[in-house]
Amino acid sequence: MKIGFIGCGNMAQAMIGGLLKKEVCQPADIIASAKTQATLGSVKNTYGIETVADNRAVAQAAEVIVLAVKPMYYEGVIGEIKEVTDKHQIIISIAPGKTLRWLAEQFGDSEYKVVRTMPNTPALVGEGVTGYTLSEGINEEDHAKVRMILESFGMAEQVSEGLMDVVVSVSGSSPAYVFMFIEAMADAAVADGMPRKQAYTFAAQAVLGSAKLVLETGKHPAELKDMVCSPGGTTIEAVRVLEKKGMRSSVIEAMKACVKKARDC
């Protein structure tokens, strides 16, 4: 399976690294393009893959094409490559707001095999979660290839296209909220005398461990929270303050704003 990446930013490199680490393909099976020679040289040296400056060369060579450029460049890139692509190739989009219908219209053929995805930055350490939805042209064999690619750098969940903008808020953008939470906890620990590096370790590991508890036990988050909140204890006092300050409402309103922005893209 020859996989082509148009764009070699952080997400593309996370995907390439996952594909090679999981041995889904070999370096010779991947071709990528980028805007600058510096990026091309760095990616080639790091991963040993084929790199080119021409997006059309990637589109011509690949069985699966990953459009890994920023959303604002999609129309221009598709206009550049559509004459050398066909409906036998699989096109994977990682751009928020670009619907399957819009993508098909850009390629000028509703029979194109298009996959709309929303990965997230934890893919950089193999712990991503990617929501994806498929066009009607994707058959079972194609779907298996897509899952193999997406699961090389984390989990993958198929959703209806109507939920893709929700995926943006709950996983695509949410690492930023979590990083802010970790930073705030570390700042508080530093204010109470803990060295900053150690504060980040405690805060980040607490978030990591808590997330694993949710995923591995299957318990409701409220049940896990209650396990920590002893009567009259320190944790319930902290929870009381968070509720007073509107933590849940703030998170919900932020995520709703994120969804609205995604739909407006």
pTM score, whole prediction: 0.91
Tell me the CATH number of domain 3-161, given options 1.10.645.10, 3.40.30.10, 3.40.50.720, 3.40.50.150: 3.40.50.720
Average pLDDT, the chain: 95
140-165: average pLDDT: 96
Confidence of residue 265 (pLDDT cuts 50, 70, 90): confident
Tell me the CATH number of domain 172-264, given options 1.10.3730.10, 3.40.50.620, 1.20.140.10, 2.40.50.100: 1.10.3730.10
Whether the CB-CB separation of 103 and 116 falls below 8 Å is answered with yes
Residue 33 predicted with pLDDT over 80? yes
Note the pLDDT of residue 109.
83
Task: Write the burial class of residue 13 (CB in 10 Å: 0-12 exposed, 13-18 middle, 19+ buried).
Answer: buried
Note the pLDDT of residue 263.
86
Confidence of residue 187 (pLDDT cuts 50, 70, 90): very high
Considering the chain, tell me which residue range(s) the CATH 1.10.3730.10 domain(s) occupy: 172-264
Residue 176 predicted with pLDDT over 90? yes
**In sequence order, what are the residues at sequence separation of 6 or more whose Cβ sits closer than 8 angstroms to the Cβ of residue 84?**
56, 59, 60
Question: Alpha carbon of 156 to those of 66, 95, 96, 139, 212: distances in Å?
Answer: 16, 16, 16, 17, 17
Note the pLDDT of residue 110.
85
84-93: average pLDDT: 95
pLDDT digit string, tens, across residues 49-62: 999 999 999 999 99
Note the pLDDT of residue 34.
94
Residue 47 predicted with pLDDT over 90? yes
Considering the chain, tell me which residue range(s) the CATH 3.40.50.720 domain(s) occupy: 3-161
